[in-house]
Structure formats: structure tokens, C-alpha cells
Amino acid sequence: MPLLVSGPVATSTLATEIAPEDLPSIYRAMVVARALDERCLTMQRQGRIGFYVPVMGQEAAQVACAWALEAKDWIFPAYRELGLALVRGVTPEELLDQFFGNAADRLKGRQMPNHYGYRDRNFVSPSSPIGTQITQAVGAAMAARRRNDPIVTIPFFGDGATSSNDFHAGLNFAGVFRTPTIFFCQNNGWAISLPRSRQTAAKTLAEKGAAYGVPGVVVDGNDVHQVFRTVRGARARAIAGDGPTLIEAQVYRLGPHSTSDDPRRYRTDAELAEWKQRDPIGRLKHELVDAGQWSEERDSQLLEEVRADIAGAVQRSESVGAADPLSFLDDVYATRSPALEEQRQQLEGWIQTGLVKL
């Protein structure tokens, strides 16, 4: 059961437990996230994409959380929320288009890789500064409440962000004004290379909410059932007008912080091996097999199918041409102003004459 640190978390009028028939679909989403993760890490090392932030080890927390939300709820991600995007219906190919920054990228190459956003999925584009999405989510929640829009906003962040200014400002505002916000902290033990023990003296990160009147709950982030149950309860509490909840999902990052990081410099092989024994994908697989809902044969078929689908998506996405360099002058206004049109024509001429090389 989740450890309740401060304050009650109400039960939802919706189902508070995952429907057994949904578990294979949740497992599939986790497998897709892992397979895409592995492929993207390889492609970055090959120089085919410039940068990547892996989710490996945190799939259960993300997929179960997304499963507990409703499509109308607004997600404010950091830069590691691949599992959430997949559950929201973002396809691997759409994600790959963004990683490549090709002509099919909805963001038109204007965001660095892994900074994807989808307006039609209520999935906000992240930014690199730590914790800024927290205050943005609280503001959006306040606006929704004033419109009588029965939704929640949910910012995602790591343990390192709980030391940021925006974390404290966001929780304070949310606590005072009882905004319908779920603060979802994925505590993976490391803020890049800084261990949690060197960052805070608090016994848990969830208990930090107590100072702001925000209930804090610690869950095993590798347990899809605990995560689902807790998010459903926090959502019901927010919709009922009882205010925000801070959830600390205890997970572990099995891979590097990003492809710019070498975790071997700050953590031991023994620590990594210990956490691999708790791999959330293996854990859910064994649960399904024990319940008679899965088999080794089905598992092999699934992995083969997923890897083939991702290989096809990579091939299609990589074959798409580069984004139009002139597109950076678009979307400033609904219709380009005369000044922008003049600048566009000038730049187009420079490109044609070779004055500007691409």
C-alpha cells in the first residue's frame, strides 16, 4: 500500500483499481517505450539523432499514471515522459519525426529532441530549465477552475526539481488556492549525477508538501497498481475541490540521464544490478504470467512485433526530408506581415544564390 505522509487522498467515483483486462495493454505500452528507448539510444550513438533522454526503468510509473488520467486532463512533462506520450496516443513515428527534426515534425524542428508537445493530446511542450512546468501547470489549473472546467493539470518532474524555486512557488500557490493539480515526482535517485542524499535532508520528497498544506503520498513507482490507485484518488480529490496532491513515485533510472551523460562515473555496477532485478517490465510480465493472462510465447511475439513496427517507423521517419528552413518565419502571425514576407523573400534569394549555406 502507498505510504500516506500527510493528509487523506479521497477515493474516486471512477474505478480505483486497474481492470484486469487492461493489464496486457499497459504491459504492451511499457514494452513499446522500452523498445523505442533502446533504438533511440543506439541511433544517437550512431550520430543519426543529436540527443536523447531515456525513460528506461520508469515505464510503470508513467504508463500507469497516464492510464489513471482522462484525456481532457493537461500533462505538463519534463523531458523524459515517453510513456505518457504513448498512452496519450502519440505514435513512435510522430516521436521519431521530432527526434530527427524532419519536415513531418509538428514542431518544425524548433525544439531540441525530446521536447515534444501535442496540443490535440493536451500534452504541453517541455522546456529545459528545471521545474518551470510546475508553476505553469498550477496557473493552468487555476484558469480551468475559473472556467468551471472539470479537469486536472499534472506536472512531471524528478527529484532534483524539488530543490528548484518553481517547485516551492508552485506548491505554495496550489496549496493556498486549492488548485486541481497533481504534482507527480519521479524520484529516480539521481539528479543527473547528484544523489538524493546530497540534495535534501527530508526523509521523503512527498513530505515537502506538508509545509504548503498539500498532502504527500509515496508510492512504489514500479507497481502499476499503486500508481494507478493513487493517481485516481488524487484526481478525484482535485475534481471535488479539495485541492492538490504531491505524489512521489520511487523509481530508478536504469540508463543515463541523457545521451550526454555517463552514469558509470557516479554509480556502481552493483547498484544498477540490484535495481535491474526490480525492472518494472519484468515485474508486470511475471504478474500476468502467474494470472494466466500472458505467456513466454506471447511475450516473444510481442517483442518481435514491436521491434518490427519501430524499425518501420524509423525507416519512414528517417527518409522524410529536412524541415523547410524558411518555415522559421511562419507562425509568428496567422498571416505573414509585409515585413516578414519581405524577409522571407530575401532569405529565399540568399539560399538560392548560395549566400546562405544549409
Active site members: 253, 257, 266
In the numeric block, which cell numbers belong to residue 198?
546530497
Question: Residue 194 class from Cβ within 10 Å (0-12 exposed, 13-18 middle, 19+ buried)?
Answer: middle
In terms of Cβ atoms closer than 10 Å to its own Cβ (0-12, 13-18, 19+), residue 343 is middle
Find residue 186's DSSP bridge partners.
158, 249
Element (H, E) at 186: strand 182-187
The residues pairing with 296 across neighbouring beta strands, listed in sequence order, are: none
For 147-268, where are the alpha helices, taking DSSP H only? Answer: 165-177, 224-239
CA distances from 151 to 154, 238, 249, 284 (A): 10, 8, 22, 29
Evaluate whether 85 touches 116 at the Cβ level (below 8 Å). Answer: yes
The C-alpha atoms of residue 78 and residue 167 are separated, in whole angstroms, by 13
The number of beta carbons lying within 10 Å of the beta carbon of residue 358 is 6
Q: Please tell me the distance from the alpha carbon of residue 137 to that of residue 329, in angstroms, as a whole number.
A: 29
The cell 550513438 sits on which residue? Answer: 45
Q: How far is CA 54 from CA 57, 64, 78, 147, 280, in A?
A: 9, 18, 12, 37, 15
DSSP code per residue over 8-42: --PPPSS-SS--GGGHHHHHHHHHHHHHHHHHHHH
Helix axes 92-100, 23-45, angle to 10 degrees: 20
Task: Find the length of the chain.
Answer: 358
